[in-house]
Structure 1
Amino acid sequence: MLPLSPAPIRLGRIGYLNVLPLHYPLEQGILKPDTPFELVSGPPAELNVLMDQGRLDLSGCSCIEYARHPEKYLIVPDLAIGSRGPVQSVLLISRTRPEELDGASVLVSAQSHTSAALVDLLLRQHVGVSPRYRTGDATALLATGERPQAILCIGDEALNLRRHPDYPHRMDLGEAWRQWTGLPFIFGLWIARREPACARREEIKAGARLLIHAKKWGQANLDRISAVAARGSILSETEMRSYFDGLVYDLGLEELDGLRLFYERLAEAGVIPAPPELAFLPL
């Protein structure tokens, strides 16, 4: 009998342009995995659920997912998605200044739990206002002619709506966090479930190393990535390169300080019970 092929690693892929530098070399066959993997694409909130349910082994996820279930996960070292200033794709767009949003209705995307928690921290603790939130699809709602007072938009939608004429005021959440704390903000982490990381240790580690290798390839080839990303986008290649240049894909000491501070602020606000210890996948 022929030996059975190993089951593929179930790898979650955040379905936004910001992770294209990571996944392009894998999806184009530029880097070859030693272990087969099954790619599952979706917004961060959806991948959070799949990881929590054990339906993925390794995935990019909202950093808040790790904080909610640290006992389930290990963080892939030196791999993240964040910014050291303007992130451009996580924006609060508003018809009035953010300082005037006290009691106002803010439409929040359901696609990212981290961004929803961050905008609430920023508005309440940094700006000093207490808005009301409702969840919805901003693009679909705007198409009906409705104009919410403010909208939290993320990912590709934020890139498309950032110059909407009815929303002249914009708060870039990455830049606002930097102004507030002086630190980078990490929106997403790559995490592995502890169970497969133990049961299939070498395969999960190989998958994590492949992702780190892909990150380094993407960082070294941003002109090529920008040209690909600009196709079908409202952004030019130059604008797309500026967007990628503003993103952080590394998880260094300063990024970890920013992540820990975010978890501390979430705990103070009662969003999570306590700041979690950061446990890393050994490579």
Structure 2
Amino acid sequence: MDKVKVGRISYLNVLPIYYPLESGLIANDFEFVYGPPAQLNKMMSEGLMHIASNSSIEYLRHAEQYLLLPDLAIGSRGPVQSVIMISRKPLEQLKGCNVLVSAQTHTSAALLKILLSEYIPLNATYETGNATERLESGEKPEAILCIGDEALNLRKHAEYPYIFDLGEEWIRWTGLPFIFGIWTVRRDAAHREDVKQAVRDLIRAKEWGQANIEKICEMTADKTMLNLEESRSYYDGLVYDLGKTEIEGLKVFSKYLLKTGQIDHIPELEFLDI
């Protein structure tokens, strides 16, 4: 039987979950597969992995292929800092603007479309591209949706002083946390005991990360563009649980996805029994 293949987003926000596994603090027999959310979504749908951290919208669009892992997510309960729209003009001057959207994201792009149509109607248009490459080439898009480590790098860009933090705006609008990603297991692998053990290991790793978040902050400050204070602020705004409040946020997101035509039905949320 092949090793359990686990998709791992290559972003700082999941370090509290994966550090104890990758460092050997929590024993495991995983084969990690690294990549941005959009790539992992595709690989998971093609059956190239057993478990992955998927975009929320990927699960909602293809729930028939997956089961959710219990109480494991990546989301925000306020400013998320790594999912932002940066712009050269204030929001009120962006009516009809064109937004350059990172090709790495599905959920964040869907959320931005909801926020800029249902919450603050700007009648924006969208194009997909690489923000860093476009900026380095001398282009200056009106507004840019950037995620992950790229967002952490670009949030202080001198020519883009205005920041629209999607996590912050969502909770201001709905009062609920926003779940950007969830962990799923393919239904055709859910019967395997080694897969269920991998799920238990992932949940243990999350609990270790939450209990040792100061160590994670120190590691982040040592190896990234964030200092210790910024690291603490960053991780403090993130959510790793998938409890009642987080599930309610996910359900509200699914209702707006349906309203805006980004999904064709709202699936039942089904969890793996471990």
Q: Normalising TM by the smaller chain, what interval?
A: over 0.9
CA deviation after TM superposition for structure 1 residue 233, in Å: 1.8
1:280 paired with 2:268, answer no
Does 2:15 match 1:24?
no
Report what 1:42 is aligned to.
35
Equivalent pair of 2:171/2:177 in contact (CA under 8 Å): yes
Contact 2:87 2:162 in 1 (8 A): yes
Q: Is the contact made by 1:99 and 1:127 (CA closer than 8 Å) also made in structure 2?
A: no
Counterpart Cα distance in 1 of 2:91 and 2:54: 28
Match of 1:92 among 85, 98, 117: 85
The yes-or-no answer on 1:52 pairing with 2:50 is no
Q: How do 1:164-183 and structure 2 match up within 5 A?
A: 164-183=157-176
Percent of pairs with identical residues: 55
Q: Deviations over 1:155-194 (max 9, x none)?
A: 0011111111111111100010001111100000000000
For 1:100 and 1:108, the matched residues in 2 are separated by 19
Cα shift readout 1:138-170 (whole Å, capped 9, x = no counterpart): 111111121100000000011111111111111
| CA distance in 2: counterparts of 1:156 and 1:188, whole angstroms | 16
Give the aligned partner of residue 66 of structure 1. 59
Detail structure 1 runs of 4+ shifted over 3 Å in the superposition. Answer: none
Matches within 5 A, 1:150-161: 150-161=143-154
SS at match of 1:231: helix
SS class of match (2:160): coil
Among residues 5, 17, 20, which one is paired with 1:10 in the alignment? 5
Q: Is the 8 A contact 2:40 2:52 kept in 1?
A: yes
Shift of 1:231: 2.8
Q: Secondary structure at 1:240's aligned position in 2?
A: helix
- For 2:183, the equivalent position in structure 1 comes to 190
- What is the identity, as a one-letter code, of the residue corresponding to 2:200? R
1:139 is aligned to 2:132: yes
Q: How many residues align?
A: 274
CA positional deviation for 1:102: 2.1
Query: Residues 218-272 of structure 1: CA distance to partner in whole angstroms, max 9, x if unpaired?
Result: 1111111112122342210221121011100000100000000000110111110
CA distance in 2, matches of 1:179, 1:265: 16
- SS of 2:86 mapped into structure 1: strand
1:95–1:169 Cα contact (<8 Å) kept: yes
Gaps of 5+ in 1: 1-5
The residue number in structure 2 matching 1:213 is: 204
Mean Cα displacement is larger for which, 75-84 or 139-148? 139-148
- Is the Cα contact below 8 Å between 1:98 and 1:127 reproduced in 2? no
Contact 2:75/2:178 (<8 A) preserved: yes
Structure 2 residue 254 is matched with structure 1 residue 263 = yes
Q: What is residue 236 of structure 2 aligned with on the other side?
A: 245
Q: Note the alpha carbon deviations across 1:197-219, whole angstroms, 9 max, x for none.
A: 13x1x111111110010001011
Contact 2:97 2:122 (8 Å CA) reproduced = no
**8 Å contact from structure 1 (residues 87, 173) kept in 2:** yes
Task: Tell me the equivalent position of 1:234.
Answer: 225
Assess if the C-alpha contact under 8 Å between 1:101 and 1:130 holds in 2: no
3-state DSSP class of the match of 2:190? helix
Q: What's the Cα RMSD here?
A: 0.9
Gaps of 5+ in 2: none
Of 57, 76, 82, the match for 1:83: 76
- Code of the aligned partner of 1:20: L
Amino acid at match of 1:238: E
Q: What is the identity, as a one-letter code, of the residue corresponding to 1:270?
A: G
1:254 to 219, 237, 245: 245
